[in-house]
Amino acid sequence: MKKIITILVIIIGFAFNTNAQEKTTKNDAVKTVSLEQTKGEFTQKQITLSEGTYVFEISNNNVGHNIGFVLAPKSDVKAHIKNAYVTEQVKNNTKQSSKKVTLTKGEYVYFCPLNPTPQYTLIVE
């Protein structure tokens, strides 16, 4: 009888842990932020997001040459968030994505030094 109870406790404990892990995974879903660049600018001039994990998808809409993407804290524009870089330069009329980036509350800037574009504001609330 003790063996049966022990086995049941182990099974119930395992089931509870599995459900907890599934809930964490669902709540921490990676969201995609799609941004488009045209000659000399992004079409999205400011973005507001909630805290979380994101992938940035950058579209090159007929810029005529390769482009990139830089995201940095507004307080230190030289402190680029390297996971936000696209995995390779975005060729004309194509898209590329960044790696996963976890953003916390604050103000950031995004821009493209290859296009080049102004610095735009990204706010995380």
pTM of the model as a whole: 0.78
Q: What is the pLDDT of residues 71-97, one digit of tens each?
A: 999 999 999 999 999 999 999 999 999
Q: What is the pLDDT of residues 10-62, one digit of tens each?
A: 444 444 444 443 343 445 699 999 999 999 999 999 999 999 999 999 999 99
Domains and CATH numbers, the chain: 30-124 (2.60.40.420)
Q: What is the pLDDT of residues 93-124, one digit of tens each?
A: 999 999 999 999 999 999 999 999 999 999 99
Residue 2 has pLDDT above 80, yes or no: no
> How many angstroms separate the Cα of 18 from the Cα of each of 22, 58, 64?
6, 36, 50
Residue 3 confidence (pLDDT): 52
